[in-house]
Structure formats: C-alpha cells, structure tokens
Amino acid sequence: MSEPRKIIIDTDPGQDDAAAIMLALGSPELDILGITTVAGNVPLSRTSTNARIILEFCARTDVKVFAGADKPIARPLITAEHVHGKTGLDGPELHEPQMPLQTQHAVDFIIETLRSEPEGTVTLCTLGPLTNIATALEKAPDIAGRVRELVMMGGGFFEGGNITPAAEFNIYVDPEAASIVFQSGIPIVMMPLDVTHKVLTLKSRVAELRAIGNRPATALVEMLEFFERFDVEKYGSDGGPLHDPTVIAYLLKPDLFAGRDCNVEIETASPLTVGMTVVDWWQVTGRKHNARVMKDVDADGFFALLTERVGRL
Ligand code: RIB
Ligand code: CA
C-alpha cells in the first residue's frame, strides 16, 4: 500500500459526522493528523465533546481534537438540535469524555500543519460549516496553495436546500466562510444534497451495520435510528440521508461517485436565498471552474464500504 493519505477532519458532530469519523478510523489508507471542531449542529463545546466521545467509542484516543470557531464569521450561530437532539449525538447513552481537548486552537493547528507538512500532501475533509477553514485562510493566505484537496459536504443544486428551500445547512450557517473557501483556489470536491439524498439509511443497511456487533457499530446504529427520524418524517423516505461519510468514502473509493467540474458561487446577500450554492452545472456562465461537483453515487457500494470499515474498528 502506498503512503497513507494525510487528512484533517473538520467537523460539527452530529450523528452523520460520527459515521464519517468511524469510516476514516477504520481505513488504513488514511492518516488522520487531527480532528478540528466547529460550531454547527450544536454549539462548539458540544461538538468538541462529541468528537472525543466518538473517538472513545472507537478506542482511538490517540487522535487529537482541537476546538475551533464558536460562531460564524459574520452572523449569529444557527444550530440544528431539532435534527440531532440536544447533545448533537442523541441515540446511544453518552459518557463524559476522559481524553483531553488540545489547548491549541483548531485554526492555528490547521495553519501550522499545512505549513509544516510537505506542500500538496494534506487533504482537508469538512463536514460542517466552513468557519475554521475560512478563518485559517484569512489569517494565513499562504496555506491555500499548500492544500492537496478540500473535500466537503455542503450545498445543493437540483435538490435545493434542507434548512431553507434554497440553502443546505453547512453553507447556510456561514455563507461568508463558504464564499471565502470557494474563492480560495483550493481544489474542491463538493458532496451536495444531490448526492447525500441518494445514500439513505434503509432498514436493510442499518441491519447490516447492527450485525457487526462491535461497540462503535452498536453506538452508530443507535445514533442513526435517532438521526433518521427527522428526515423520514420530512421526506417520507425509508431512512435518512447519511451526508458526511460521503466525504471520506470519496477519498477511499472515488469511483463510487460521478460529477463534473463547475463554477460554484455562494449567495451571501439575498434574505430569500442566502446560503444557496449557485452551481453552473450546465456551464452557461463561462465562469471559472472552482469545484468538482458530485451528483451521483453507487449507494450500495457506499454502504458496503462503510459497513466493512466500521467492522474493522
Ligand atoms: O445538511 C447536512 C449537513 O449539516 C451535515 O454535515 C450535518 O451533519 C449537518 O452538519
Ligand atoms: Ca456535519
């Protein structure tokens, strides 16, 4: 096997974030340099607690957790307890984490890591609002040219939004941060709702995860059974969209996904559509391509990968 791929996971756990982190932990192709937390689904103190709970469920307290931004760049924080529950990880019985939170701020960890690792070797995997990444770019513009790739869950185009008719939650919480990131020149791979709404936690798929029987899988199933209730009720679907692990799955098996290079701009002004990702899928604007936007996914292949890797924990 070639050298493991160095990644930083920036996250707002969140039950689907937990699935993404477990997928990464079960994959030796990846070297997790650190986990950085951001305010999003729930406030920062809770996302920082949740990241450590997830690592302790997986007996991986060797991975360091750095707390980042406690609110968006230019707006008040909007959270999603209505989806994720008060803790953000509702479902399993949760303990108070014993492992420490690093004292270094997440933004400084991101900057320091990108400057110290060889250029073009670190991949940023973002699972929440882009506040930490945008703040790092503002503080240290030189890091933009050092990032290998930024693979992010966020946005939507034909699928619309999920927190408003036009906007997906991660972008809506901090549209200014998203605009900074999409204008940064960093090679971006975008996993929008158009993809994540195709990876539903069908009962048969959850049963496969439950059959694993280890502690991480048991906790994950309890998280998903809580998390999916909101989307099942909203969309009348069998299971809910498992958004965040698509980011990690792309690193492991990119051929599970299909999309195209597009121009993506972020609406930051209109009260009606703020947070919208305006994706030029049909290439009508002539604007510069700044993201590889995914649209289709092999859902069965995705869940087979997730199940196999969680089974290794
Ligand atoms: O809109 C879905 C995204 O918002 C996911 O990352 C979920 O965890 C929430 O952060
Ligand atoms: Ca998330």
Taking the CA of 82 as reference, the closest ligand is 1
Beta carbons within 8 Å of 237's beta carbon, 6+ residues apart: 200, 231
Domain boundaries, the chain: 5-310
Q: Tell me how far the alpha carbon of residue 285 lies from the centroid of ligand 2, in angstroms.
A: 30
In this structure, what are the phi and psi dihedrals at residue 25, rounded to the nearest 5 degrees?
A: -65, -30
Q: 5-310: which CATH architecture?
A: Alpha-Beta Complex (3.90)
What pLDDT is attached to residue 230? 84
| CB burial readout 42-52, b (16+ within 10 A) else e | bbbebbbbbbb
Predicted pLDDT of residue 232 = 86
Any residues with CB less than 8 A from the CB of 207 and at least 6 apart, and which?
Answer: none
Please give the average pLDDT of every successive group of 10 residues along the chain, which has 313 residues: 93 98 98 98 98 98 98 97 93 97 98 98 99 99 98 98 98 98 98 98 97 98 92 88 98 98 98 98 98 98 98 98
pLDDT, position 248? 99
Pick the residue whose CA is nearest to atom 1 on ligand 1: 169
pLDDT value of residue 1: 64
Q: Does ligand 1 come within 6 angstroms of the Cβ of 128?
A: yes
End-to-end CA, the chain: 19
Residue to mutate, 244, 247, 248, 276, ligand 1, most ligand atoms under 8 Å from C-beta = 244
How far is the C-alpha of 196 from the C-alpha of 241, rounded, in Å?
A: 6
| Ligand 1 center from residue 118 Cα (angstroms) | 31
240 Cα to the center of ligand 2, angstroms? 14
